Amino acid sequence: MRLLKTALVAGALAVLSATTIASAYAQDTKIGFIVKQPEEPWFQDEWKFADQAAKEKGFTLVKIGAEDGEKLMSAIDNLGAQGAQGFVVCTPDVKLGPGIVAKAAANNLKLMTVDDRLVGADGKPLEDVPHMGISATKIGEAVGQAIIDQMKARGWKMDEVGAIRVSYDQLPTAVDRVEGAISVLKAAGFKAENIFDAPQAKTDTEAALNAATVVLNAHADIKKWIAFGLNDEAVLGAVRASESVGIPADGMIGVGIGGAESAINEFKKPTATGFVGTVIISPKRHGYETALNMYDWIANNKEPAKLTLTAGALAKRDDYQKVRKDLGIE
């Protein structure tokens, strides 16, 4: 009998402590941070800075890579099942917009997007979903200007130069970035017929290399090239392609966007390559600030701004360390 009593008490205690744990657990803030390309240094940096926010505020950050729509949808369900209250996402496909919004609502999760803004069935941005992105057109213009300055410094005649537009036109921010560069090039007298589209199947270096190789082979008579695209990886692909067809570094001017490890590794090479610069954007703002915004929304009911656009700063091989430091991302 005594034994039975002890067992009952122990059982009751176990139930009690389980409930206590559960309620403490429910009070905990858990935030998801889902990215489309976890292997890309930019996204690694975003996670790193989001982690910083989590440490400071004491919430749990759940980092998930979702390379396609299916993975993304199950990641959202998973966050719901884990008792998360919200998530920040850079989606693999912006057209999934309405589906993502519905999935978040079904799981009672607050939703904020970063980098790539969701669009509706009509292709227009879903303006109700808070978003932090880069000032894509302006940053593209800075890329175009950096390329013009470099062409001038090398004494190039614009008419002899070919331009590789590494493109990913299904993503609006990618279009804005390359079109920003093109507008500045055209205004400076660069001929539209010398700009060649190199559509990449994915936003990584290999896909850009493949796309740029097609352009270079189709115009083997052109010996001087410039290249731009949505990120550093796109431009690095074009630069690698130019090297593989025998164009020397002084025959290529590539300027990327990002400034994370892909660009830094290139600048660290002992000899300069055709990748001459990058417009550094801030993974700190995109990672730390969005995570903090989401936390404030959950914990303090403070809704994030509907749209925040961040700036960039041009950096080259000789000054990138300083630019990074100035941006607080060392």
Question: For binding to ligand FCA (CB under 6 A), which residues are involved?
Answer: 40, 42, 90, 115-116, 134, 173, 203, 230-231, 257-258, 281
> Could you give the CA distance from residue 130 to residue 117 in angstroms, rounded to a whole number?
9
CB of 315 to ligand FCA, least distance (A): 15
| Closer Cβ to ligand FCA, 167 or 203, answer by number | 203
| Closer Cβ to ligand FCA, 143 or 281, answer by number | 281
CB of 264 to ligand FCA, least distance (A): 15
Q: Which residue has the tokens 């990672």?
A: 287
CB of 65 to ligand FCA, least distance (A): 13
CB of 309 to ligand FCA, least distance (A): 11
CB of 23 to ligand FCA, least distance (A): 38
With residue 133 as reference, give the H or E element that holds it.
strand 131-134
> Could you give the CA distance from residue 286 to residue 276 in angstroms, rounded to a whole number?
25
| Closer Cβ to ligand FCA, 64 or 247, answer by number | 64
Q: Cβ(281)–Cβ(139) under 8 Å?
A: yes
SS3 percent helix, strand, coil of the chain, rounded to 5, is 50, 20, 30
Give every CB contact of residue 47 below 8 A, 6+ residues apart in sequence: 33, 35, 38, 61, 63, 287
| Closer Cβ to ligand FCA, 40 or 266, answer by number | 40
| Closer Cβ to ligand FCA, 30 or 177, answer by number | 177
CB of 90 to ligand FCA, least distance (A): 5
Give every CB contact of residue 131 below 8 A, 6+ residues apart in sequence: 112, 113, 114, 117, 118, 125, 306, 307, 308
Sign of CA dihedral 48, 53, 58, 62: negative
CB of 118 to ligand FCA, least distance (A): 12
| Closer Cβ to ligand FCA, 50 or 247, answer by number | 50
Q: What are phi and psi for residue 107, nearest 5 degrees?
A: -95, 5
Sort strands 275-280 and 313-316 into parallel, antiparallel or unpaired: antiparallel
| Closer Cβ to ligand FCA, 203 or 273, answer by number | 203
Residue 154 burial (CB count, 10 A) = 13
| Closer Cβ to ligand FCA, 148 or 230, answer by number | 230
* Residues facing 197 on adjacent strands: 165
* Residues facing 277 on adjacent strands: 255, 316
CB of 185 to ligand FCA, least distance (A): 20
